[in-house]
Structure 1
Amino acid sequence: MESLLFPQAMLQPWDWAWIIDFLKGMMKPVAATAVVFLAVALSFYQKLGMELEMIVAILRAFIQLSIIGFVLQFIFNQDNAGWILLAYLFMVSIAGYTAGQRAKHVPRGMYVAGASILTGTAVTMFVLVVLSVFPFTPRYIIPVAGMMVGNAMTVTGVTMKRLREDIKTQINLVETALALGATPREATHEQVKRAAILALSPVVDNTKTVGLISLPGAMTGLIMGGASPLEAIQLQIVVMNMMIGAATISSIMVTYLCWPSFFTKAYQLETKVFSS
């Protein structure tokens, strides 16, 4: 299976012949842009005003994925644990920044999200490596970490945003609980619960319907690469398991890390956080 997905020519550090194969392979992705031009034409006909945005998006996708492809090719050839850590921290940093932008009203949101994503994905990855589900090599760890980080990014962003909004909506109820001696966790238990459920529901629902509505990306990629469907489902089951694990840890972690911004040391709400 590995030889089908990564030809031997691509595994030689100084053999540049694979670049020619890469350029030849790009003919199909270029041909596939025909459907994008169809979408652009429909947007223009319906006066949606999204033509330029669609073109820019597909150009960015081409450039970004091509750069990432070359970077991963370099890292795979090095086969060094240091590159795994560097790539992983880069992904977590971008994910933390993006999640923080989604919850702009949460103070230091990008740092809170980044720490939560780092914790959730690192714990999950550690368990998978210890149990020998994946070997600790760039070829396995970086793609797997990318899937977990991307999923955890969405979950943490939604959790932070919803938690702040719920506390703001029910600020009188929370302040009453605090006045009666409740801790921040006790006073916001229902808000935390709702925020986590809302953020995690899409992940759980997707796991419930996997394979029934659509074939997931990892499974589809393996099948198209020549692997048997039985091999593909084994990997997909692992992927769905790690998604739930990393997302849940990240979501719960972010609620704890939000409290220093939401409450004072005297266990009072920071009203300026909820004023906007």
Structure 2
Amino acid sequence: MNFENILVSNNNGLATVTINRPSKLNALNKATIHDLHTAFEALEDDETVKVIVVTGSGEKAFVAGADISEFANFSVEDGGKLAALGQDMLFDFVENLSTPVIAAVNGFALGGGLELAMACHFRIASDNAKMGLPEVSLGVIPGYGGTQRLPQLVGKGKAMELIMTAGMISAEEAKAYGLVNHVVSLEELMPLAEKLASKIMRNSSVAITAAIRAVNANFEDGVNGFEVEISEFGNCFGTEDFKEGTTAFLEKRKANFPGA
């Protein structure tokens, strides 16, 4: 796949999506969001892809925010459409992928960059990473899910503080708040992502997809997450992966999941 603003690779089931606008600190513009949507959609449809890692090019930034020049003169209607389209095309889309997505946060993850990281299934960070939602300093609020996902991850009080102060936190602070799972040096970031991906790929992709749906259900309005879990749990019993997993356990061998 060839794109204007991102790079995509697939190495033995691990796909890496690199946002590649280093001169703009990998800021998200319309074209980049479109590229990301197209790439994620293609990777989701590729049965050889078991895990996706998202990162930024260079050492300074994962994504330093949205490209403000694109919407500085927008009207109320334009602004609403921008948020709705972005959430549908990328942020909600990533969150609900059946393929696990890991954000490898290298450097600044601000505004839309942090919102993209939070849409991923979990996050790891380099020790030089800085994270925040500075939108109120521009007279606007986060529009790509930031006001919803940040409280889910760090709690309402801390989220309110971060959003209202427009401040940045370090990688270690982000780990303490539960925003990221691991902090390592920049050199160790992608090897850690690969290590975690390798652990994921040993397990049943069918069960992992079911787990993603069940976990996400708890955060959907009007949906009973426990009921979704019961349904997904039951469905697992009808899969080839369940047969292989339980048989391998009883035979005291490693499972070779067919992914069906």
Higher helix share: 1
Q: TM-score, normalised by structure 2?
A: 0.24
TM-score where L is the length of structure 1: 0.23
Q: Which has the higher contact order (CA 8 A, sep 6+)?
A: 1
The structure that has the greater radius of gyration is 1
